[in-house]
Amino acid sequence: MADTASAAGGRATQAQEGLTTSVGPSVEPQASAPGAPAVDPAAEGDGQQGFETSASEGGPVDENLDVASWDSQSDGGDSAYEELIFAGHWENGRRYHSYQSGQYLFPDDEQEQDRLDVKYAAIHLTFGNKLNFAPLQDPQHALDVGTGTGIWAIDFAEENPGCTVSAVDLSPIQPTWVPPNVKFEIDDCEQDWTWPENHFDYVHIRTMAAAIRNWNRLFQQAFRHTKPGGYIELQEMDYMGVIQSTSRNPGTSFIRWCEEQGKAAAKVGINLRSIPSVMVENLRQAGFVDIQLHEFRCPIGPWAAEKKMRDAGILQLSAVLDGLEGLTLKLSKFYEGWTKEELDVLLAKLRTELRSRDCHAYWPVIAVYGKKPE
């Protein structure tokens, strides 16, 4: 397991920080009430492979719906807009976020939330149970960008009770019973940030490769809103998996799937790769200094020799297998020249491969942090 140290937004809860979006969210509700199972358009599918994305991506924009807020300390659900946000919208049996509908390609339903939490546990083990690598000293304000189920933000808040942790996401999928120093907010981190400048001691971004369209802009905003002497940290998984040289199984289908996912994502303006040198350079260009990179391998499957990594591999395998449908559904629409049957065969073979102890597949994982000059 390599662990080599080398040199190498969001807007806010509406009232306090002022979420001022110029683009009204495209909300396309298909449910009548928060949490309702709503309409499952799978029943009316067009028979095509993958998801019908046009509706969600080009859906109607309701100009009246310009503010999103999800305050974990409130009882929530007191406005029609919140109801729409909480309902999400459904496609092919999976639920997706309503706020900025179509922005993110993966579901946000319980199945996906389980995947996120299991993946979190796998990465946590891979990181030796560290929540951060940046040498933080008594942080007062932290931001978790794209918090998902909020699991990292909650753990970080517990570990740093004196720190106020703001955590933003497009989806309101965070729990309500959380430490008092965590605040969840619904927001799009790729819009203009309206927090005070020089505010955060620490900005944390984890596994957002499939989400961010403009990393440079994100880093520039993070730089502006980080205190002098504060840190940004990226904890990213490279979605281009690798088959280790010890593998007796070539993992052909897994590699093929990774490649197809990458090509499909590129067509919708997303680069799934997290290349360490690129991330380091992007941070440097944004103005961060003293950049440190830690590189890891998170096994997929129970093949690693070390017990801790075997456990991480079992978790990661479960996350991949459970997540496969959600990760593939929308992107498969952009696979070039594939029939539904061919895709099904690929995914079936991939599942068999990854379950085999002979297949030594892993995700490259990095933690890279940089400091805003004092």
Among 8, 116, 178, 258, binds ligand SAM (CB under 6 A): 116
Binding ligand SAM (rule: CB under 6 A), the pick from 188, 201, 260, 353 is 188
**CB-wise, 83 or 144, nearer to ligand SAM?**
144
- Least Å from the CB of residue 250 to ligand SAM: 27
Q: Which of 17, 28, 82, 169 binds ligand SAM (CB under 6 A)?
A: 169
Closest separation in Å from C-beta 261 to ligand SAM: 13
| Contact track, ligand SAM, 197-226, x by CB under 6 A | ---------xxx-xx---------------
Q: Does 131 bind ligand SAM (CB under 6 A)?
A: no
Please give the span between the terminal C-alpha atoms of the chain, in angstroms, as a whole number: 34
Q: How far is the CB of 321 from ligand SAM (least distance, A)?
A: 16
**Beta bridge partners of residue 130, listed in sequence order:** none
Of positions 131, 143, 178, 189, contacts ligand SAM by CB under 6 A: 189
For the segment 287-316, give every residue that binds ligand SAM (CB under 6 A).
none
**172 is a contact residue toward ligand SAM (CB under 6 A):** no
Q: Phi then psi for 65, rounded to 5 degrees? A: -100, 80
Q: Does 170 bind ligand SAM (CB under 6 A)?
A: yes
C-beta closer to ligand SAM: residue 303 or 369: 369
26, 101 contact by CB (below 8 A): yes
Positions 2 through 61 that interact with ligand SAM (CB under 6 A): 10
Burial class (CB in 10 A: 0-12, 13-18, 19+), 43: exposed
Binds ligand SAM by CB under 6 A, chosen from 120, 202, 257, 335 = 120
Could you say which of 147, 174, 181, 332 contacts ligand SAM (CB under 6 A)? 147
Using CB under 6 A, which of the segments 83-91, 186-194, 301-309, 332-340 binds ligand SAM?
186-194
Of the listed pieces 44-52, 143-151, 224-232, 241-249, which binds ligand SAM according to CB under 6 A? 143-151
Taking contact as CB under 6 A, which single stretch among the options 66-74, 163-171, 226-234, 259-267 is the one that binds ligand SAM? 163-171
Q: Which is nearer to ligand SAM, 50 or 146 (CB)?
A: 146
Kindly state whether residue 143 participates in binding ligand SAM, applying the rule CB under 6 A: no
Contact residues for ligand SAM, defined by CB under 6 A: 10, 97, 103-104, 108, 116, 120, 146-148, 168-171, 188-190, 206-208, 210-211
